[in-house]
Structure 1
């Protein structure tokens, strides 16, 4: 829930000022820069510059020839986490120097959003260790190879040498994380037994892989193969050094983690929810507040989910009846029968999986060409569809989006999980593409990054209820605009919405009502008709990421509520593209602030 602050030096101050925003050198040093946005940009740049991995991910220094950060890894010592909370207090003092009366409307909003985040960070200090840094979904052990494969670009020998430097520093990074794991162990914040079993199995498989087949080696080789006129001797040197680094540093670092979790496993229990941890009930409420940006209680969210599940299931049954599909056997069995129909699946081979990726791209290209009436603003960055790396497909979600780089060299990416071919029925593909790509995450995130005149915090900030709420709203919007080609596609859309409604039930069930992992799996399976592999992966995601899954439906319902409010109050003056401008042109915001922005739009249109 909180971003780490890292100490990293070696980049000139002049470059930092130039990339941090349009402010003069004296504003870099000033206790109170003339403009609030300059202060916010300065502090965000400082934070980013202390994290070499963040700099690599953002990708803006490489365009001016600076690459030294790509040889470093983040400082993950527990002390760094403590420094982050202290830094937040210092930033708050700086921000509060600016009186609202002296700020323009945009800067007032920037101040409000900043203080909202800082307040939450301060209230979260007590629960700073309530997480599982090594887990089956986004843990240290699978994030590192994913980061190296997807983020670390290799277009020169210098890049390759930096890659090897990072491989050799894995033992330090992993040992720093072990310190944090031991602090959590002392506090009895121990992952459920199944999480430990998952990560041990994953890491055992990782170190058992022959080095030349390991993604850390193979992805480097692939990148080297794409460099024109590369000296073959240099290529062999780099690959030999990478092989040695993996053998002597990477694999032993993973083995140290394996040994730790093997020893820890007897202390773990099969209970899955946060309620079992010291202070877990309050920590879960904090998580819900952060992810939904509301004060909704776990009980309210649980009951809301139950109501929505009933409504959406009824709509799906009505759609099935229109297709003359027999629903006499009840919802669950009917959905399972539909999912078992072979006509909706691709061939379970490499050609079939390649066709899935190609068809996803076609879907996205089609809708991108047909949205002019619904959007005044469009992202400049392109987007592409790629497969989730095979080494982590089994425990990854069905799909996810990766933002483009700031310098425009890397497009936005929709990562599709192709592990289980039965998890990709054709009637669900459009909805998933609209959510992860266009007009979902790619529109919202890429537009936010490209907005001019906003501080970096607002361009890159992420309020999950807003971002995921928009993506789920985008699914319904695409249907409303006529992009669902077949009746089955609407069933796929409704199933996706049902899935998010079920999340409200199972997330609160696990962490508030003390459901077991098996209870949650059974409920989701019975009420969605999803593939078993996806159900298990999803439930295990909610266990290690409490609260996050509730944000989708909460955010979508708020956006739809605000759109309906604008329609009712504006009548003929309502314009869909203008409404989307209001939602998208301010960057990610808490839902309460979004409501105020829409109310202001309504008032301005009424008096125009």
Structure 2
């Protein structure tokens, strides 16, 4: 009987609880559940239950008929952060009460990963305000409309009414976020002036948009039109209420932020690195440790970047010379000549942008059909290419990935930025698609979500060096498998890797070596050949996300090193499918744990060729 009950974790535990099962109720409410996995899954579920927006994004409660959370927004008061840290302390105490001797190998790994995250959260508590939660890339000001457009499903009148409720409650949400901004201001943490200017422009444009053209209105309009159960008359009534709520609640909420940022603009300086904040050097080193899952110092990362930049530029120059380009004037001039050739760009029009999306999908369909020799495990979830919403694409990154819904109702999505046609050269499209979608983020994220018998924390752990390292590694795998045999596509791949190498230099340069924003922009522009609009957007991203950009190259280099280690140890018995199984079937992990898993795979001889 108990063996059967072991499977009732995660969603199963929740469903059993709803049905009144006594054991499930115990596992849900007891300080220390009988089953270790029940404790891990229940912990994340309870944290998610305190976040209506997370529940909507996960989409699993709707499958059992629960929708009330879709009428609510998260409680963003600073006090909620205090409550969460206290909750994490209790979780840490309970986790340690599970003796290692009573856990199997897989459970021990889960415990180790949970402790890794809890230990970091304990260290991070002192620096919880060392950030800019409203900036040109993310924050409630653009996260809220994006969430409503992408995550809030409208299939019934109840769903639409919940949408209206969230429009009404947004003013309170902004007021709560404003409290956190004022706390940071009191502690001397004010965003750089360019951040303030960017968000003011973004929010002013948002509220000056006619309501009938605002994404919050048009999104609901589209969803209602696609809903099969809502009569036309009711749709009109719901849209009329949405218009009123946007006017009465949404735009005034943005007005609060506009007034606040306009008021502090005069206090903002032009220094951009984390070093300028109280204990900023310690905060940055902690950020580097977390994002790379290593103990590398800022200087070590900086030097690693300089070395990689030199190596990759040399490879690009050799290809350009072979293709007849004049390389005598140096890398910057040669790459600018390549980038200036109009044959590598789409028409700067709606038709040209639509064709980019079509061609991205062709690229993904092609590689998805040709990976059987390299991958045994494949995600069940689908994959689609969409455009980044126009209202935020000017300051958004070149692309990003959105994971599929747990219940399968929404596929994985590769969002492409089409704002600047010159930022999408044809020779760079394959690499970007492989990174964000297949076999990059979509394979890693969707496979992890679909792993059976794995606690949620193992599926969704935020180890950026692993997840972004895998995506960058995937670009090279696609090339090795022959999907970038055109020399210019290979240049696109190398440029993408060079870009990540440059990130090591500029991120540490800004936050530890006290480079100015302009210094970093100049270095990146000279050493990548990227469009200036992209360079500016990237540098400004590193300023508001210290350390995150270093994780890509560090992670990729580690995965490649581990693959080479396995090849040397196993010789002819090495099988790429087996190696990828080891990397993907354990979910996201810190790099030192990944190395241990690969060492175990080597020791056990699990790379023996299989059909």
Structure 1: give runs of 5+ residues left out of the alignment: 1-10
Q: What is the aligned partner in structure 2 of residue 588 from structure 1?
A: 588
1:167–1:249 Cα contact (<8 Å) kept: yes
Check 1:607–1:465 CA distance in 2 against 1; reply closer, same or farther (3 A cut).
closer
Q: What is the aligned partner in structure 2 of residue 8 from structure 1?
A: none
Q: Secondary structure at the match of 1:527?
A: helix
1:364–1:438 Cα contact (<8 Å) kept: yes
Alignment of 1:324-339 (within 5 A): 324-339=324-339
Q: What is the aligned partner in structure 1 of residue 277 from structure 2?
A: 277
Deviation of the 1:233 alpha carbon: 1.6
Q: Secondary structure at the match of 1:605?
A: coil
* In 1, Cα distance between equivalents of 2:302 and 2:163: 46
- What do you get for the CA RMSD once the two structures are aligned? 1.7
Q: Which 4+ stretches in 1 moved above 3 angstroms?
A: 11-19
Q: What is the aligned partner in structure 2 of residue 447 from structure 1?
A: 447
Deviation of the 1:109 alpha carbon: 0.2
Deviation of the 1:18 alpha carbon: 6.4
* In 2, Cα distance between equivalents of 1:586 and 1:329: 48
Q: What is the aligned partner in structure 2 of residue 309 from structure 1?
A: 309
Number of matched pairs: 597
2:155–2:229 Cα contact (<8 Å) kept: no
Q: What is the aligned partner in structure 1 of residue 473 from structure 2?
A: 473
Alignment of 1:393-404 (within 5 A): 393-404=393-404
* In 2, Cα distance between equivalents of 1:415 and 1:159: 25
1:549-589 deviations in Å (ceiling 9; x for gaps): 00000000000000000000110111100000000001000
Alignment of 1:184-583 (within 5 A): 184-228=184-228, 230-583=230-583
Deviation of the 1:280 alpha carbon: 0.6
Deviation of the 1:66 alpha carbon: 1.3
Q: What is the aligned partner in structure 1 of residue 66 from structure 2?
A: 66
1:167–1:245 Cα contact (<8 Å) kept: yes
* In 2, Cα distance between equivalents of 1:26 and 1:185: 45
Deviation of the 1:14 alpha carbon: 5.5
1:22–1:38 Cα contact (<8 Å) kept: no
1:319–1:491 Cα contact (<8 Å) kept: yes
1:423–1:531 Cα contact (<8 Å) kept: yes
Deviation of the 1:219 alpha carbon: 0.9
1:510–1:517 Cα contact (<8 Å) kept: yes
Deviation of the 1:34 alpha carbon: 2.1
2:53–2:74 Cα contact (<8 Å) kept: yes
* In 2, Cα distance between equivalents of 1:546 and 1:229: 47
2:435–2:472 Cα contact (<8 Å) kept: yes
1:570–1:606 Cα contact (<8 Å) kept: no
1:259-279 deviations in Å (ceiling 9; x for gaps): 001111111101110000011
* In 1, Cα distance between equivalents of 2:555 and 2:83: 32
Deviation of the 1:24 alpha carbon: 2.6
TM-score (norm 1): 0.96
Deviation of the 1:31 alpha carbon: 2.6
Q: What is the aligned partner in structure 1 of residue 3 from structure 2?
A: none
* In 1, Cα distance between equivalents of 2:26 and 2:564: 48
Deviation of the 1:107 alpha carbon: 0.2
* In 2, Cα distance between equivalents of 1:606 and 1:368: 26
Check 1:23–1:322 CA distance in 2 against 1; reply closer, same or farther (3 A cut).
farther
* In 2, Cα distance between equivalents of 1:385 and 1:22: 45
Structure 2: give runs of 5+ residues left out of the alignment: 1-10
1:171–1:252 Cα contact (<8 Å) kept: yes
Q: What is the aligned partner in structure 2 of residue 131 from structure 1?
A: 131
1:204-255 deviations in Å (ceiling 9; x for gaps): 1111110001111111111111122531221111111100000010000100
1:23–1:38 Cα contact (<8 Å) kept: no
* In 2, Cα distance between equivalents of 1:363 and 1:115: 40
Bigger mean CA offset, 443-452 vs 154-163? 154-163
* In 2, Cα distance between equivalents of 1:230 and 1:184: 45
* In 2, Cα distance between equivalents of 1:607 and 1:353: 44
Q: Secondary structure at the match of 1:392?
A: coil
* In 1, Cα distance between equivalents of 2:497 and 2:35: 43
Deviation of the 1:606 alpha carbon: 7.7
Deviation of the 1:30 alpha carbon: 2.4
Bigger mean CA offset, 28-37 vs 94-103? 28-37
Q: Secondary structure at the match of 1:207?
A: helix
* In 2, Cα distance between equivalents of 1:34 and 1:440: 37
1:170–1:253 Cα contact (<8 Å) kept: yes
